């Protein structure tokens, strides 16, 4: 199952809820302001590093770029995809839930 | 149109502060006519939608809370409320409207629609759905 | 594969409509079908043809109209949400006694049932909002 | 005392416009003056006269128009925000080649300078938004 | 100085920021979804009880009523005001900041 | 119109996810013509507005980040960035655009506009303002 999140984890609880209500092994795609969750050295980096071991975490490249976040700044294990990759994730998983 | 699908409406917003919950309820009521397998989840501030005793007389907004009572008549009888969300907000199930439905398979007995589940149970229920809409 | 797209926020204020647009384009480019784009909540404002964004910015309303024309997309604005917010086609304007219509090319107004139908018909329903 | 009111969200989607309305009414009832109500961001959608909300709900646009008439309130919609979102008066419609205008009674379209002026003239500036 | 907050403290960080960036002794008025911050027995009640000792905290009655929150459910020391009281708070304080 | 007022624009939202930061910057630039005492605060996700290297070419949005460089020319020279917000996001001031202004009172020397302050300092600065707008 694919879960998308579009809110900054520093501003709203959507990312937390996506972790709480997704099964282990799910795919989580961070889009829009949720891409900030992928940042190394943040106050929530520990939670995200833990999540990388239980979920497959993806981040949308066009949204990373718009916000000036370089790939080197991301937590290891998070995978970068474009809009094509977003479509592929939606095809690969049989259902999609958007945490707004 | 083929097989029946599992539709779940996931409610995560409080009432009145934004319109999502009201317009989300409108979707659920309209959707009931389509004979799909429908359930609703109340998570995060969504649990506040079911709070008893809503009174909008002083704020001038439309009080739509009574419409939740109609869900049973529309055969929407599975309202999952996340235990962790209730607890974090200092609420118990007694704070919620006593929503019920008549069970056609059990001599039309009146039964509670609200089912309190924990996060792990709800994650499993969500994973079983086909179509997920969010309000 | 058949995708349904739901957009719950208006143009510019939130990124939802942008993301939905790029997703839709990418899905079409990959050979997938778009069953319908359904605009709900403030999403109905994506169909307001009175918008004139600055020339150095994208024109979100026109972009949807153009994509619809190119790929024969069904763009549906929810009637109840649209009435609340003042998005009307010629028919709605007449019924509600309004002096004008403002629904952009390629969009049509219909009921919430179309949202449920999209969920039934599509293999994947994608929700974009705030 | 002189109040300035700023509204940053459209009607219905968020409560901001409701709260601002009740605050404005209470301030007027207490004998205060409202320098101006300034609509910015999606707030400009409060001036869309094509809206027809359900009969059992409040009519947010008409309510502002009526309050403006009763108390001679200056309701100003930001021109740049309004152009992006498709709120136009007759003059703007002509300039941008649009077929219609949709600005409600009592509202006028003007520049962002009016927001700054409101901040300068008012004793208190109240911001309502999301 | 008057600070208003209109977001649920369970959903967004506005209330936290209002506490961090307001001086002790300031007035804080909870409106719209922020009225939930006034609830007893919640996961953030400890923070709010502490805030009541350093700030004057008010809550808007029409918004409490709409959401079905009875006065008995509120943390002690939080004062209930109507729209008239909101206006009076704005008059009494010489400036207002809205944490959205 | 009387005395000069202290205007502060408090920015708490990230760029692109919503329009508040872009339209907020438009207010600051227009407001500069009114000869008031203007400052800006960047708090919470607002600090991301100043992040270096923004590139919207793939997302198709308008890249307005270069307009922050113009603030100095508009005599908006006090940009307060909250230290706690930077730290929580794993950022340092080196991650931000190097915004500067020419100090007219000091032989037009180029000086940094960004001033990192802690929460307590910022609370004091906010308490000194007359007009507060939020984006």
Q: What pLDDT digit, counting tens, does each position of F18-33 carry? A: 999 999 999 999 999 9
User: Tokens for E15?
Assistant: 């209330």
**ipTM score of complex:** 0.97
Q: Alpha helices of B19-135 — where are they, by DSSP H? A: 20-31, 83-88, 119-127
Are D and A close enough to touch, i.e. 3+ CB pairs under 8 angstroms? no
Q: What is the mean pLDDT of residues D58-82?
A: 98
- The per-residue pLDDT of chain B, averaged, comes to 96
Whether C66 has its CB under 8 Å from any CB of chain F: the answer is: no
Looking at CA atoms only, how far is residue A17 from chain B in angstroms? 8
| Mean of pLDDT values over C20-25 | 98
Do residues A36 and A8 lie in contact, with contact meaning Cβ atoms separated by under 8 Å? yes
pLDDT at A20: 98
pLDDT at B55 over 90: yes
Helix (H, G, I), strand (E, B) or coil at F12: coil
Beta-carbon contacts of E64 under 8 Å, excluding residues fewer than 6 positions away, are E35, E38, E71, E74, E80
Contact D79, D121 (CB under 8 A): no
**Contact (Cβ atoms closer than 8 angstroms) between residue D102 and residue D50:** yes
Q: Which of F29, F61, F130 to mutate to test the interface with D (most CBs of D within 10 A)?
A: F130
* Chain F hits for E95, Cβ within 8 Å: 129-132
Sign of the CA dihedral with D113 first, then D118, D124, and D125 last: negative
The structure tokens listed for F125 are 């600065």
Q: What is the mean pLDDT of residues D72-80?
A: 98
Q: What is the DSSP string of F56-98?
A: -TTTT----GGGGGGGGGGT---EEEEHHHHHHTT--GGGB--
pLDDT tens digits, A65-96? 999 999 999 999 999 999 999 999 999 999 99
Give the alpha-carbon dihedral of A22, A27, A33, A38, to 10 degrees: 100
A-chain residues within 8 Å CB-CB of F44? 10-11
Query: Are residues B131 and A20, on separate chains, in Cβ contact within 8 Å?
Result: no
| Phi-psi sector, E83: left (phi>0), alpha (psi -120 to 50), beta | alpha
Catalytic choice (C78, C103, C109, C115) = C78
CATH no. for residue C62?
Answer: 3.40.1260.10
**Is the minimum CB–CB distance between A13 and chain E shorter than 8 Å?**
yes
Say if the Cβ atoms of F122 and E21 lie within 8 Å. Answer: yes
pTM value is 0.98
Element at D36 (helix H, strand E): strand D33-39
Other beta carbons within 10 angstroms of residue B29's beta carbon come to 16
Residues with Cβ within 8 Å of E32's Cβ and at least 6 positions away in sequence, in order, are: B16, B17, D15, D16, D19, E6, E7, E60, E63
Q: How far is it, in rounded angstroms, from Cα D125 to Cα D27?
A: 13
Alpha helix ranges (H) inside D10-53: 16-29
Place E75 in a pLDDT band, splitting at 50, 70 and 90: very high
A5/A30 Cα distance (integer angstroms):
5
**Interface membership of E100 toward A (CB under 8 Å):** no
| Chains with at least 3 CB pairs less than 8 angstroms from chain A | B, C, E, F
Neighbours of A20 (CB within 10 A): 17
Q: Answer yes or no: do A6 and C125 touch at CB < 8 A.
A: no
Residues 6+ apart with CB under 8 A from E52: E75, E76, E77, E78
Neighbouring C-beta atoms of residue C70, cutoff 10 Å: 11
Residue of D nearest to E12 (CA): D130
Query: Scanning the structure block, which residue is given the tokens 């605009």?
Result: C39
Q: Which domains does chain F have, with CATH numbers?
A: 6-134 (3.40.1260.10)
Average pLDDT over residues B104-112: 95
Distance CA E62, CA B15 (A): 13
Q: How far apart are CA D129 and CA D122, in angstroms?
A: 19
Q: How confident is the model at residue F3 (pLDDT cuts 50, 70, 90)?
A: confident
Cα gap D124→E12, rounded to integer Å:
26
Mean pLDDT value across residues E5-22: 98
Instruction: For residue F2, name the pLDDT band (cuts at 50, 70, 90).
Output: low
Res B1 pLDDT > 60:
no
pLDDT of residue D36: 98
pLDDT confidence of D124, banded at 50, 70, 90? very high
pLDDT digits (tens, 9 = 90+) for C53-85: 999 999 999 999 999 999 999 999 999 999 999
How many Å lie between the alpha carbon of F91 and the closest alpha carbon of chain D?
Answer: 26
**Each residue's pLDDT tens digit, A8-28:** 999 999 999 999 999 999 999
Percent of chain B with pLDDT over 90: 98
Q: Residue C53 corresponds to which tokens in the numbers above?
A: 């964004």
How far is residue B22's CA from residue D44's CA, in Å, rounded to a whole number?
Answer: 22
Residue B2's pLDDT band, with cuts at 50, 70 and 90, is low
Whether F59 has its CB under 8 Å from any CB of chain C: the answer is yes
Percent with pLDDT over 70 in chain E: 100
Distance of CA D75 to the CA centre of its chain: 5
- The answer, for F111 touching chain C at a CB cutoff of 8 Å, is no
Across the interface, of F17, F59, F62, the residue whose CB is closest to C57 is: F62
Predicted confidence at residue B3, as pLDDT, reads 82
Q: Which of E36, E62, E68 sits opposite B52 (nearest CB)?
A: E68
Q: Could you list the residue range(s) of the whole structural domain that residue C41 is in?
A: 2-128
HSE at residue B69, side-chain half, CA atoms within 13 A, is 8
Residues of D classed as catalytic: 78
Residues of F in contact with D82 (CB under 8 A): none
Mean pLDDT across B82-89: 98
Tell me, what's the pLDDT at F82?
98
Contact between F60 and C22 under an 8 Å Cβ cutoff? The reply is yes
Cα–chain-centroid distance for residue E50? Answer: 13
Tokens of E85: 């009281």
How near does any CA of chain C get to the CA of F68, in Å? 17
Cα–Cα nearest to C88, from D105, D51, D60:
D51
Domain count, chain E: 1
- CATH no. for residue A66? 3.40.1260.10
For chain F, the straight-line distance linking the first and the last C-alpha, in angstroms and rounded, comes to 26
Cβ–Cβ of E68/B55 closer than 8 Å?
yes
Chain B residue with Cα closest to C40: B23
Classify burial at F110, counting beta carbons within 10 Å of its beta carbon; exposed 0-12, middle 13-18, buried 19 or more. exposed
C86 dihedral zone (left: phi>0; alpha: psi -120 to 50; beta): left
**What's the number of domains chain D is made of?**
1
| Cβ(D11)–Cβ(C84) below 8 Å | yes
Residue C78 catalytic?
A: yes
């Amino acid at each position: 199952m694919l879960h998308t999140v579009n809110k900054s984890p520093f501003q709203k609880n959507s990312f937390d809820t996506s972790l709480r209500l997704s099964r282990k092994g799910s795919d989580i795609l961070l889009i829009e302001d949720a891409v900030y969750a992928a940042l190394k050295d943040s106050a929530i980096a520990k939670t995200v590093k833990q999540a990388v071991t239980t979920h497959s975490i993806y981040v949308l490249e066009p949204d990373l770029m718009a916000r000036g976040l370089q790939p080197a700044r991301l937590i290891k294990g998070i995978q970068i995809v474009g809009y094509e990759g977003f479509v592929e994730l939606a095809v690969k998983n049989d259902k999609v839930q958007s945490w707004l | 149109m083929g097989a029946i699908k599992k539709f779940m409406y996931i409610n995560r917003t409080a009432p009145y502060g934004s319109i999502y919950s009201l317009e989300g309820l409108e979707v659920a009521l309209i959707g009931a006519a389509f004979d799909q397998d429908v359930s609703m989840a109340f998570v995060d501030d969504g649990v506040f939608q079911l709070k008893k005793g809503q009174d909008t007389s002083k704020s001038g907004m439309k009080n739509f809370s009574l419409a939740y009572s109609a869900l049973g008549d529309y055969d929407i009888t599975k309202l999952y409320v996340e235990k962790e969300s209730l607890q974090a907000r200092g609420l118990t199930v007694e704070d919620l409207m006593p929503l019920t439905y008549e069970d056609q398979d059990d001599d039309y007995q009146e039964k509670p629609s609200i089912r309190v589940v924990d996060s792990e149970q709800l994650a499993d229920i969500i994973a079983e759905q086909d179509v997920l809409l969010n309000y | 594969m058949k995708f349904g797209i739901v957009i719950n926020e208006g143009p510019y204020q939130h990124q939802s409509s942008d993301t939905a647009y790029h997703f839709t384009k990418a899905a079409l480019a990959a050979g997938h079908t778009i069953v319908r784009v359904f605009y709900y909540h403030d999403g109905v404002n994506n169909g307001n043809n009175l918008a004139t964004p600055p020339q150095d910015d994208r024109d979100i309303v026109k972009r949807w109209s153009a994509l619809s024309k190119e790929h024969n997309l069904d763009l549906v604005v929810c009637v109840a949400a649209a009435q609340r917010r003042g998005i009307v086609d010629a028919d709605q304007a007449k019924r509600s006694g309004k002096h004008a219509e403002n629904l952009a090319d390629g969009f049509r107004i219909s009921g919430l049932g179309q949202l449920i139908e999209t969920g039934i018909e599509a293999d994947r329903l994608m929700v974009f909002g705030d």
